[in-house]
């Protein structure tokens, strides 16, 4: 469960973020609306204005450094090119799941170097690596657009998310990506609105 309320200023944009939900959350909005800045604040890479809070599964994490939050932020560059797929996924190794079965379902070779994969498969590996890290909140910033058959991929990941009790926020300007979500939020001009 993510329970957060904070404000921050980025350039000329005043961002107001309030969310209390769990599961798979889709965050849509035009480019420049404040989606990425909000995710980076949840992850601990940007500091909100005074007076806000971020609570994850009952733990207040606002004052914690990014490395202690159990929040993983993934964008299009979140991978190590030189590592083989299997080693990449196990690099942090704090949580185990049936890696071989998942890789087989996603048609990924555990011995192939991540840098040799398509951009979509690199994102698949990044997400699986994040899930193996022991994170409690996964933030995906515009990564699904490069994944072919995003619906099938997210169904596989949703099963893992349920097993591992990981909440996820997927940010994308494209609300028609075919991803099954529990909740939908829209951000426009820095203001977050819950749709359902």
Q: What does the alpha-carbon distance between residue 64 and residue 85 come to, in Å, rounded to a whole number?
A: 30
171 occurs within a structural domain: yes
Q: Are 34 and 185 in contact (CB under 8 A)?
A: no
Mean pLDDT across the stretch 64-90? 92
Count: domains in the chain: 1
25 occurs within a structural domain: yes
178 occurs within a structural domain: yes
Strand bridging mode 59-60 / 71-74: unpaired
CA angle, 155 as apex, 135 and 104 as ends, to 5°? Answer: 85
Q: Are 167 and 55 in contact (CB under 8 A)?
A: no
- 30: domain CATH number? 3.40.50.300
User: Which residue reads 């350039």 in tokens?
Assistant: 11
159 occurs within a structural domain: yes
Q: In this predicted model, what pLDDT tens digit does every residue of 27-47 receive, in sequence order?
A: 999 999 999 999 999 999 999
180 occurs within a structural domain: yes
Closest Cα partner for 133 from 58, 76, 74?
74
Backbone angle region of 45, left / alpha / beta, with phi > 0 → left and psi within -120 to 50 → alpha = alpha
Q: Are 35 and 29 in contact (CB under 8 A)?
A: yes
Residue 101 clears pLDDT 80, i.e. is over it = no
86 occurs within a structural domain: no
Mean pLDDT, the chain, rounded, equals 88
End-to-end Cα spacing for the chain: 16
Q: In this predicted model, what pLDDT tens digit does every residue of 115-155 receive, in sequence order?
A: 999 888 888 888 888 888 889 999 999 887 767 666 666 77
Q: What is the pLDDT of residue 40?
A: 97
119 occurs within a structural domain: no
65 occurs within a structural domain: yes
| Domain around 157 | 2-79+135-194
Q: What is the pLDDT of residue 47?
A: 93
Q: In this predicted model, what pLDDT tens digit does every residue of 153-185 receive, in sequence order?
A: 677 777 777 778 899 999 988 765 556 789 999
Q: Any idea what DSSP says for residue 84? A: B
User: Which residue reads 């939908």 in tokens?
Assistant: 184
Q: What does the alpha-carbon distance between residue 124 and residue 79 come to, in Å, rounded to a whole number?
A: 10
Q: How many CB atoms lie within 10 A of CB 152?
A: 13
Q: What does the alpha-carbon distance between residue 34 and residue 159 come to, in Å, rounded to a whole number?
A: 29
């Amino acid at each position: 469960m993510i329970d957060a309320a904070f404000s921050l200023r980025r350039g000329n944009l005043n961002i107001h973020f309030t969310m209390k939900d769990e599961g798979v959350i889709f965050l849509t909005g035009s480019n420049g609306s404040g989606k990425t800045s909000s995710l980076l604040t949840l992850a601990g890479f940007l500091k909100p204005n005074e007076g806000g809070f971020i609570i994850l599964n009952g733990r207040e994490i606002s004052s914690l450094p990014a490395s202690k939050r159990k929040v993983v932020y993934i964008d299009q560059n979140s991978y190590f090119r030189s590592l083989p797929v299997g080693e990449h996924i196990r690099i942090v190794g704090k949580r185990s799941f049936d890696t071989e079965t998942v890789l087989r379902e996603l048609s990924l070779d555990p011995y192939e170097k991540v840098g040799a994969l398509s951009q979509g498969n690199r994102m698949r590996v990044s997400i699986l690596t994040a899930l193996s890290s022991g994170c409690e909140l996964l933030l995906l910033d515009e990564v699904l657009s490069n994944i072919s058959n995003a619906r099938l991929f997210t169904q596989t990941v949703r099963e893992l998310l349920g097993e591992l009790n990981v909440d996820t926020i997927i940010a994308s300007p494209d609300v028609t990506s075919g991803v099954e979500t529990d909740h939908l939020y829209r951000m426009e001009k820095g203001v977050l609105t819950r749709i359902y």
